[in-house]
Amino acid sequence: MTAIKDIRTFTADDLAAELVKLGEPKFRGKQVYEWLWNKSARSFDEMSSLPKNLRGKLAETFSLTPVSEHIVQKSKDGTVKLGMRLADNRLIEGVMIPDEDRNTACVSSQVGCSLACTFCATGFLKRERNLEVGEIYDQVVLLNKHALEHSGKPLTNIVYMGMGEPLLNYTNVMNSIRIINSPEGLNMAQKRITVSTSGVSKAIKRLADEGMKFNLALSLHAATNEKRDKIMDINHSNKLEDVIAALNYFYEKTGNKVTFEYILFDKFNDTLEDAEHLIALYHQVPAFINIIEYNSVEGVSDLKKAKSEKRDEFVNYLRNRNVNVKVRRSRGKDIDAACGQLANKN
- Taking CB under 6 A as the criterion, the residue among 18, 93, 138, 165 binding ligand SF4 is 165
Estimate the crossing angle of helix 201-208 against helix 240-254, to 10 degrees.
10
Check residue 122 for interaction with ligand SF4 (CB under 6 A). Answer: yes
Nearest 10 degrees: CA dihedral of 268, 163, 131, 247? -40
| Least distance (Å) between residue 211 CB and ligand SAH | 23
b or e along 202-228 (b: 16 or more beta carbons within 10 Å of the residue's beta carbon)? ebbbbbbeeebebbbbbbbbbbbeebb
Check residue 119 for interaction with ligand SAH (CB under 6 A). Answer: yes
- Taking CB under 6 A as the criterion, the residue among 198, 235, 238, 301 binding ligand SF4 is 198
Spatial distance between the Cα atoms of 45 and 192, rounded to a whole number of angstroms = 33
Q: Could you say which of ligand SAH, ligand SF4, none residue 297 binds, taking C-beta under 5 to 8 angstroms by partner kind?
A: ligand SAH
Residue 69, CA atoms < 13 Å, CB-side half-sphere: 14
- Taking CB under 6 A as the criterion, the residue among 139, 219, 259, 295 binding ligand SF4 is 219
Q: How many Cβ atoms sit within 10 Å of the Cβ of residue 108?
A: 27
Q: Could you say which of ligand SF4, ligand SAH, none residue 116 binds, taking C-beta under 5 to 8 angstroms by partner kind?
A: ligand SF4
**DSSP 8-state symbol, 132:** P
CB-based contacts of 15: which residues, under 8 Å, 6+ apart? 7, 29, 32, 33
Q: Could you say which of ligand SAH, ligand SF4, none residue 292 binds, taking C-beta under 5 to 8 angstroms by partner kind?
A: ligand SAH
Q: Is 120 annotated as catalytic?
A: no
Binding segment for ligand SAH among 3-11, 71-79, 294-302, 319-327 (CB under 6 A)?
A: 294-302
Q: Is 339 annotated as catalytic?
A: yes
Check residue 172 for interaction with ligand SAH (CB under 6 A). Answer: no
User: Which residues are near ligand SF4 by CB under 6 A?
Assistant: 113, 115-117, 120, 122-123, 164-165, 198, 219
Catalytic residue annotation: 93, 339
User: Which residues are near ligand SAH by CB under 6 A?
Assistant: 119-120, 161, 165, 196-198, 219, 261, 263, 292, 294-295, 297, 339-341
